[in-house]
Structure 1
């Protein structure tokens, strides 16, 4: 139709972009949590690691806008998806880093 405007991303590319950014940010947050809690006696229980995760989740939404994702179309489900994907990758990667005593 003549009134429809083509978005910058197709629905498939929008989903791939959001998923890729959430996954990468989860891994980056895990490495950052490992760096931030490196000197702690019990790094796994240090709340600074969770603060890093929260920051990684919040910083994604402005980045998505800069990339060109239309944030007006985001529903609660989309926000929860980004948070869950970031948390999942952070949890697994930071768990591996803690288990192997990796330091940076």
Structure 2
């Protein structure tokens, strides 16, 4: 939950009021993945599924990953297209892997 909240705070703080330009998020998990907020959400729901240990919670965590994962990849691809100086070491969703 902390990853998710911190990542959302970073994203909300990127632009000043009235500003419309895109910026590269940095700090926290954004140093490792483009979709740090998505990563935090998936980790959060997977943790809940493990804590509850029931089929519906595992299904919810799985389908959350299936719906958010492609969005993270899309954001990653868009960042690389928009910013020439975007860090190439960042992955889309899973640090050091994907």
Tell me the TM-score normalized by structure 1.
0.36
Higher relative contact order (CA 8 A, sep 6+): 1
Of Structure 1 and Structure 2, the greater helix share is in 1
